[in-house]
Amino acid sequence: MSVLDSIIEGVREDLATRRLPLSQLHEQLSQAPKVIDAHARLLAEPMTVIAEVKRSSPSKGSLAAISDPRQLAAQYQEAGAAVVSVLTEQRRFGGSLADLVAVRSEIDIPILRKDFMVDEYQFFEARAAGADVVLLIVAALSKNQLKDYYDLATELGMAVLVETHTHQEIEDAMEIEPRIIGVNARNLKTLEIDLNAFAQLIPEIPSSIIRIAESGISARSEVEIAQSAGAQAILVGETLVKAGDPRAAIDQLLGRTK
């Protein structure tokens, strides 16, 4: 079993313990905050940042305690992040939907629910919790699931970040005509990082699509590599949560410091 398979197995088990009756979920959905459009914000500058609330990871273990995700998200917003990503997977990343709800109450920029979306129910609960964007990982889904979940998220008003890691996954992603595609430098099946993925894969994505570079970014030089390949935004978690000053870290990544 790959790391990705193991994570998904745990996600399904945890979902079974919190699944609500659909009537109750739809009631929550009717009271959800209005969707904030992420597309324009991701394109507001030549390079923008999706800043992540992330306590731990399967590859690095514990990263940061983050006792108050609202405070960290507020710092990200003040630092000019275009979107805040909130990890909601519990077993490997130490997150929860409660974190997303808390962050939504604090900031007024789009929020990405970062999780392994493998069941229709998760999309309804994401929107009910206040998510504006959801993640679809091509490696975790069949072609039919990818299409169906993309359509469902769109119907609920959310934007979708379609995550890829190989040439074939980009081809599969293109079949659903997405507005945002991410290239993850981390292989989710082995957890190995190869930053060459940015230069190899991002140019394959048409310029009409918002292109995101994900994972492994910790230095300005790596942002420049991603940007030269065509990335318009970067998704950064570990570097920011471990930084004592998230604003300074974002400034450094974007070349705002001298």
Active-site annotation holds for 147: no
Active-site annotation holds for 114: yes
Q: What residues form DSSP beta bridges with 214? A: 184, 235
The C-alpha R_g of the chain, in whole angstroms, comes to 17
* Annotated catalytic residue within 56, 215, 222, 238: 215
Lookup: tokens for 154: 């769109």
Active-site annotation holds for 184: yes
* Annotated catalytic residue within 89, 125, 214, 222: 214
Active-site annotation holds for 224: no
The answer to whether the CB of 138 falls within 8 A of the CB of 2 is no
For residues 237 and 76, give the distance between their C-alpha atoms in angstroms, rounded to a whole number. 11
* Annotated catalytic residue within 85, 114, 125, 187: 114
Active-site annotation holds for 125: no
* Annotated catalytic residue within 54, 56, 85, 96: 54
Cβ atoms within 10 Å of 147's Cβ, excluding its own: 16
* Annotated catalytic residue within 184, 187, 222, 238: 184
* Annotated catalytic residue within 163, 169, 222, 238: 163
Instruction: Give the HSE-up count for residue 97: Cα atoms under 13 Å, Cβ half-sphere.
Output: 17
The answer to whether the CB of 98 falls within 8 A of the CB of 129 is no
Q: Give the sign of the dihedral formed by CA 3, CA 237, CA 40, CA 200.
A: negative
DSSP at 65: -
* Annotated catalytic residue within 52, 89, 169, 238: 52
Active-site annotation holds for 177: no
Active-site annotation holds for 30: no
Enzyme catalytic residues: 52, 54, 114, 163, 184, 214-215
